[in-house]
Amino acid sequence: MEPSPPRARGVRNRSRYLRPIAAALIAATLVGLPLRYGGVTLLVSSQTEDPNAIIVLGSHEWERLPVAAALAHRYAAARVLLTYPVRISPHNCHRCPERLKWLTEAGVDRKRVTVLPQGVTSTYDEARAAAAFAQLHEIDRLVVVTSPYHGRRALATFRHLFDSSGLRADIGLATPSSGVDPRFWWLRHYDRGYVAYEWAAVVSYAIRFGISPLL
C-alpha cells in the first residue's frame, strides 16, 4: 500500500483534533440552552380584561394571596375562588386555615369568596373544579393566580380543561414576582427545585392528560 500524500495526512490530523472541539461545542450548547432558558420559558403572561372570577391555586399562599387581593380590589365585581385539598399538608396548602381571614383583612368582602366544594390533589383537579363551577355560574372570564414557575403548566391545564368542557372562557394568568430569578435559576436552591419539578410535571401532564405546554 502506498503512503498517503502529505496533504491527505494533514487533513486527517486536523479532523482528529477538530472532532473533540466540535463535540465539546455541542455538549456546551446542550447544557447551555436549558440553563439559559429553563426558568424563563416557564414564565408566561396572559391578560384578561374585566374578569368575573379570580381563582387562587393552592400552596405558596404568601405570594399568591396578595396578588389575588390586589386583583379583587381592581375588579370589584369578580368572585374570588379558592381550592381545597383532599388532604392538607404544608406543601399543598401552607396557610389553608388562614386564607379567608387573610383576604378579609386585606379588604376583600367575605361574601365574594367561595371555596370550591370539589376536593383537589393537583393542578389538573383545580382546573376541573373551576370548570365545573364556571359552568354552573356562567363564568367566562377567569384569572388564575399562581407562582411564576407554575404559570405555563397552570395556564395550559386550565385552557385544556375549559375547552374540553365546552366552555368558551377567556383565561388569564397572574403571577407574583416572589423574588425568583429565572435568568439564573440554577444559582439558588428554591429556583432549582421549582424549575426541575415544573419541567418534570410539564412532561407528566403531556403524557397523562395530553396537555401541550405550547400556549
Tally of domains in the chain = 2
* Same domain as 115, residue 21: no
Residue 166 counted as domain residue: yes
Residue 101 confidence (pLDDT):
95
Q: What is the pLDDT of residue 211?
A: 96
**β-bridge partners, 54:** 80, 143
Residue 87 covered by a domain: yes
d(CA 26, CA 166): 45
Q: For residues 76 and 28, what is the distance between their CA atoms, to the nearest angstrom?
A: 51
Check which CATH number belongs to the domain holding 125 and give it: 3.40.50.620
The answer to whether residues 29 and 58 belong to one domain is no
Is residue 187 domain-resident? no
Give 26-72 pLDDT, tens digit per residue: 333 333 445 667 899 999 888 888 999 999 999 999 999 999 999 99
Residues 30 and 99 in one domain: no
Instruction: Tell me how crowded residue 134 is: count the other CB atoms within 10 A of its CB.
Output: 23
- Cβ(127)–Cβ(142) under 8 Å? no
| Same domain as 98, residue 55 | yes
Residue 196 covered by a domain:
no
Locate 11 and state its grid cell.
487533513
199 alpha-carbon distance from chain centroid: 9
pLDDT digits (tens, 9 = 90+) for 128-168: 999 999 999 999 999 999 999 999 999 999 999 999 888 88
Per-residue pLDDT reduced to its tens digit, 80-118: 999 999 988 877 888 888 999 999 999 999 999 999 999
Residue 40's alpha-carbon distances to 26, 45, 150, in angstroms, are 22, 12, 11
Q: Which residues form the domain of 66?
A: 44-176
Q: 84: closest CA among 51, 56, 48, 60?
A: 56
In a domain, residue 188? The reply is no
Cα 70 from Cα 48, distance rounded (Å): 15
Answer yes or no: is 155 within a domain.
yes
**Residue 184 covered by a domain:** no
Q: Based on the fold, state whether residues 23 and 56 are members of the same structural domain.
A: no
177: confidence class by pLDDT, cuts 50, 70, 90: confident
| Whether 21 and 100 share a structural domain | no
Is there a single domain that holds both residue 53 and residue 77?
yes
Are residues 97 and 51 both part of a single domain? yes
SS3 26: helix
Task: Say whether both 112 and 63 belong to one domain.
Answer: yes
Same domain, 29 and 11: yes
| Distance separating alpha carbons of residues 203 and 191, to the nearest angstrom | 18
